[in-house]
Structure 1
Amino acid sequence: MDFPFNVSLYFISLFFFIITGGLGQLGVGLTKLLREQFGKNNVILSDIRKPPNHVYHNGPFIFSDILDFKNLEEIVVNNNISWLVHYSAVLSAVGESNVTLAKEVNITGLHNILDIATKHALRVFVPSTIGAFGPSSPRDPAPELCVQRPRTIYGVAKVHAELMGEYYHHRYGLDFRCLRYPGIISADSQPGGGTTDYAVQIFHAAVKSGCFECYLRRDTRLPMMYIDDCLRATLEILEAPAETLPSRTYNISAMSFTPHDLTQEIQKVLPDFQVTYNVDPVRQAIADSWPMALEDSAARRDWGWKHEYDLSELVQAMLTHVTTGNQLVQAN
């Protein structure tokens, strides 16, 4: 039977996304991917900050405070939202310095998201992280199902999000999906107060000054991932048919390395680069409670997850992007 229109485009147009906390490390990149896949006007970026001009002019942007239930619900209803991607969060190190704010944003905000999604039959993606594990969890690697006793408010909130999402799925039929991200490395955004931020800062320092002071011990091994892999994994889990997902929360993994490993790889390109160490006890304690690697066989089995960037590819990509960005800034 011949249809008088493109059926695939018709069904794609039924999906309307809103991304909360969209001006953070991952939101802008995921928005770009989703707009390429589902249409520019079908993906709304939102945050409580004013966006830079290039973001504002690239597609719909709305001010949205996840602690304002009524405002968020109005946005969902008025824009016929069908997918809610929830990136709003106070990260690990910042959360320990302001527990009250972290509780409000990471827990109360999540409750608003889940309640609105359930009321209006939305699909929901909420990221978790390695921060959801604790010192009593297996560390090398951490499996998907194990003891989780995090010692940060960030980690406690992530475990809470995983469990609440799964509860809403089983109790109310909410299509809840969650990935436990490793440390995410990106050249296009500024670090936001996470424990793994050194792995972003080190590239900017290598290009600009040739030296870097690291706040973690040189032998602190943590799971990491280049942002292109992270965004692709997120798009893949959003697109996966619900019936292919026996789990609601998945580990995803790419590589694990220490600051010393990363330094040595950068020195293959910049041999004069020097790193010193001045350990921050708060962030070191957090890192020591996290896994050194993640076991992600379920994601690879259930929806075909496969990373593309290992350490050498990561370093090449980051140095290229940071160097190019630095040259553009100097030229302007």
Structure 2
Amino acid sequence: MKDVLLILGASGQIGNELTQSLRKIYGNERVIASDIREGNADMMNSGPFELINATDKNQILQIVQKYKVTQVYLLAAMLSATAEQHPQKAWNLNINSLLAVLDLAKEKHIKQIYWPSSIAVFGPTTPKQNTPQKSVMEPSTVYGISKLAGEFWCNYYHDKYGVDVRSLRYPGIISWKSKPGGGTTDYAVDIYFSALEESKYTCFLSENTRLPMMYMDDAVNATIQLMQTASHKIKERTAYNLSAISFTPKEIALEIKKHIPEFEILYKPDFRQKIADSWPQSISDSKAREDWNWQHQFDLSSMTKDILTNLKEQRSTLKL
């Protein structure tokens, strides 16, 4: 039987690009996009779309049965900075959506689940450099607490019920195709748009705040590769550390200036600085590389060149 995939939270930053990549692999009709709001034109026109509340188990089950879904990618979540402003709402979305999908797998309605975790599971007491797969995890944000709890729910359902659930601890994800969605690492997305539109950017983190980051192309490839790996090779059922590059706002600004010499950056740290300071500066993802041969493709230089090239093309197209 051919797999049919349901993406919950397909209109988000990662969901949007992951959906399109999965449709190229599995075919448009076998990848069902869904969200609590409609997606962009490309998503809506390229394949099936359903309006779904990701915390409503019965609503999800109806769609699973309608399309004979075998895999669920649960991407619906409230991110770090937004979650700090709406803690109970964030907990409800981030945890209840996961439990709904885990129960559907436990009841044999679906075969496989993907659920993203985050470097937010780490906290101020975690080793900052080359943070290992297993380390001190004392998150200081609602988002981090929900992701840490979610990791152990995944592990529990795998151990107790044999649920095939897989997860990655994403670093900051950078994309040129969609605007930021309320995360602490979002400056690294915003900065490229501002550089082209205004030749300046005011950063909400201080200049030397180093954080683990990843280009969207690498994040999507890692997700698909993890889900296509044979089950017996998946050794971590909480979540795998995932890494590519680490840099500071100052370093990304210098890279942008190579392409836009007049670019200027200012620094006005806000409440997100405290969140960023609680996270690691670099991540060791040796387990992912060992267990399923993960390898990233983009560094800061190649990512910056690719983003600015695509954004310039996009702008010139819109002007035609």
Range into which the TM-score falls when normalised by the shorter chain: over 0.9
Partners of 2:298 and 2:314 in 1: CA distance? 21
Shift, 1:319, TM fit: 0.6
Q: Which residue of 260, 263, 269 maps to 1:273? A: 263
Assess if the C-alpha contact under 8 Å between 1:84 and 1:117 holds in 2. no
- Contact 1:121–1:174 (Cα < 8 Å) also in 2: no
Residue 290 of structure 1: SS of its match in structure 2?
coil
2:23 to 35, 56, 59: 35
Among 153, 156, 176, the alignment partner of 1:187 is 176
CA deviations on 1:174-219 (whole Å, 9 max, x unpaired) are 0010001110000001101000000000000110110000000000
Report if aligned partners of 1:16, 1:42 keep a CA contact under 8 Å in 2. Answer: yes
Percent of counterpart pairs with the same letter? 40
Rg larger for: 1
> Structure 1 residue 96 and structure 2 residue 95: aligned?
no
Instruction: Name 1:3's counterpart in structure 2.
Output: none
Give, as a single letter, the amino acid of the residue that structure 1 aligns with 2:169.
Answer: R
Per-residue CA deviations over 1:69-89 (Å, capped at 9, x if unaligned) read: 211111112211110100000
Query: 2:74 — aligned with what?
Result: 86
- Aligned partners of 2:105 and 2:34: how far apart in 1? 16
Give the unaligned 5+ runs of structure 2. Answer: none
Q: Distance in 2 between matches of 1:276 and 1:308?
A: 30
Give the match for residue 5 of structure 1: none
Q: State how far apart, in whole Å, the 2-side matches of 1:135 and 1:317 are.
A: 33
Instruction: Trace 1:1-332 onto structure 2 (pairs within 5 A).
Output: 14-119=2-107, 120-248=109-237, 249-280=239-270, 282-331=271-320
Which amino acid in structure 2 is aligned with residue 262 of structure 1? I
SS at match of 1:57: helix
3-state SS in 2 of match to 1:200: helix
CA offset at residue 330 of structure 1?
2.7
Cα offset, 1:103, TM superposition: 1.2
Secondary structure of the 2:259 match is coil
Partners of 2:120 and 2:21 in 1: how far apart? 26
**Contact 2:10 2:39 (8 Å CA) reproduced:** no
Q: How many angstroms apart in 2 are the aligned matches of 1:54 and 1:245?
A: 33
Give, as a single letter, the amino acid of the residue that structure 2 aligns with 1:100. Answer: Q
Displacement, 1:121?
4.0
User: Within 1, Cα distance between the matches of 2:205 and 2:289?
Assistant: 31
Output the aligned Cα RMSD: 1.0
120-129 vs 288-297, which moves further: 120-129
TM-score, structure 1 as length reference: 0.94
- Distance in 2 (CA, whole Å) between partners of 1:52 and 1:181 is 24
Partner residue, 1:6:
none
**Residue pair 2:121, 2:148 contacting (<8 A) in 1 also:** yes
Whether contact under 8 Å (1:182, 1:225) holds in the other structure is yes
Structure 1: unaligned runs, 5 residues or longer? 1-10
- Give the CA deviation at 1:53: 2.5
Using the TM superposition, give the Cα deviation of residue 125 of structure 1 relative to its aligned residue in structure 2, in angstroms. Answer: 0.5
Matched letter for residue 38 of structure 2: K
Letter of the 1:246 counterpart: K
| CA distance in 1: counterparts of 2:156 and 2:70, whole angstroms | 20
For 1:301 and 1:144, the matched residues in 2 are separated by 12
Partners of 2:250 and 2:85 in 1: CA distance: 28
Any conservation in 2 of the 1:217–1:279 contact (CA below 8 Å)?
A: yes
- Residues 245-272 of structure 1 show CA distances to partners (whole Å, capped at 9, x for unaligned) of 1112211111000000000111111111
Name the count of aligned residue pairs.
318
Q: The residue matched to 1:18 in structure 2 has which SS?
A: strand
